Amino acid sequence: MKIPKSHPRYTSLMLREKLVKGWREGIVVPEGLIAHGRGEAFDYVLGETTSAPALVAERAAAAFLLRARRPVISVNGNVAALAPRQVVRFAKTVSAGIEVNLFHRTETRMRRIVRTLRAAGATHVLGLHPNARIPRLESRRALSSREGIFGADVVVVPLEDGDRTEALVRMGKTVISVDLNPLSRTSQRATIPVVDELTRALPNMERFARDLRSDPDEIGRLMKSYRKSENMKALFAFLDWRLRGLREGPKVVRGTPRRPRRIRSPGD
Ligand code: ATP
């Protein structure tokens, strides 16, 4: 379908088109389309822009990845359909491995996703030949590679489910999630939850990593100062401000203003 650039929902519709194409090519499963819808709903409320707290989490995530000994980015069908080039570029910037991990795993689908990532520039993609299992995780999602996710110290899990996030955290890994739903078990369990849309979050984290690469002091400072609870508190405050804006009038409905307007309390 040809979508004119002037369409007010152009970006969102283009992402849908990518997912539908991915579904036609056997990369995305129907359940993935539904999961995307859940993300879209949250993005609507968030204003379809990266919030300030998400930027803070993205910068911290970049710092942890740059300091990691064995960082790995986990890729599923939706991620491969939406952002294969961004994944590859980001992995190169932070010297991370890439491993495909699927909830609905079939060998054909695995091979198609690996092919997509290779076409996007990846030289080495793990996942086709798992040689380990993530402990206490049912199903084929537990399959992993010792040289990849199983042996990693920092793992990026975009659009993940809560069980696997929890299992990876239990293994002692630093888990960076990308999930628009701040209430998901993934966001709740991850070490660094990035509550942002995937195709915005990946380039943001890549840009931060590029900037930070030559600044070890700042990397150390970010790793020390990041607090998940404070970051999530700030995110919920942002959401609260968005919802109040929606309730009180159209002025603050879309986008993120430079400085949040002060909302009058009933006692003012
Ligand atoms: P959990 O098990 O963590 O509670 P869930 O059951 O919602 O989460 P999934 O069904 O696997 O897990 O959904 C994946 C998550 O990814 C959803 O919470 C959704 O908000 C989020 N999501 C979907 N598309 C995107 C996207 N493009 N960018 C960021 N997040 C997204």
Best residue among 76, 181, 202 to mutate for probing ligand 1's pocket (most ligand atoms within 8 Å of CB) is 181
pLDDT per residue as tens digits for the range 148-191: 999 999 999 999 989 999 999 999 999 999 999 999 999 999 99
Judge whether residue 261 has pLDDT over 50.
no
Q: Give pLDDT, residue 62.
A: 98
Q: How far apart are CA 108 and CA 128, in angstroms?
A: 10
Quickly name the fold that domain 52-230 has: Rossmann fold (3.40.50)
3-state SS of 185-211? HHHHHCCEEECCCHHHHHHHHHHHHHH
Could you tell me the residue ranges of all domains in the chain? 52-230
Instruction: Return the structure tokens found at 15.
Output: 């992402």
Q: Give pLDDT, residue 263.
A: 40
Closest atom of ligand 1 to CA, residue 196: 29
DSSP lists the bridge partners of residue 157 as 177
Q: Give pLDDT, residue 248.
A: 86
Of all protein residues, the one whose alpha carbon is nearest to atom 30 of ligand 1 is: 179
Mean pLDDT of the chain: 92
Q: How far apart are CA 39 and CA 51, in angstroms?
A: 15
Q: Give pLDDT, residue 254.
A: 55
Of all protein residues, the one whose alpha carbon is nearest to atom 14 of ligand 1 is: 159
Of all protein residues, the one whose alpha carbon is nearest to atom 10 of ligand 1 is: 35
- Ligand 1 midpoint to CA 210 (Å): 27
Q: How far apart are CA 84 and CA 78, in angstroms?
A: 10
Best residue among 159, 194, 235 to mutate for probing ligand 1's pocket (most ligand atoms within 8 Å of CB) is 159
Confidence of residue 9 (pLDDT cuts 50, 70, 90): confident
- Ligand 1 midpoint to CA 216 (Å): 33
Rg of the chain (C-alpha set):
19
Confidence of residue 247 (pLDDT cuts 50, 70, 90): confident
Judge whether residue 267 has pLDDT over 80.
no
Instruction: Decide: helix, strand or coil at residue 158.
Output: strand
Closest atom of ligand 1 to CA, residue 103: 11
Please return the burial class of 185, using the count of CB atoms within 10 Å of its CB with bins 0-12, 13-18 and 19+.
middle
pLDDT per residue as tens digits for the range 43-74: 999 999 999 999 999 999 999 999 999 999 99
Q: How far apart are the first and last CA of the chain?
A: 51
- Ligand 1 midpoint to CA 180 (Å): 7
pLDDT per residue as tens digits for the range 117-138: 999 999 999 999 999 999 999 8
Judge whether residue 113 has pLDDT over 80.
yes
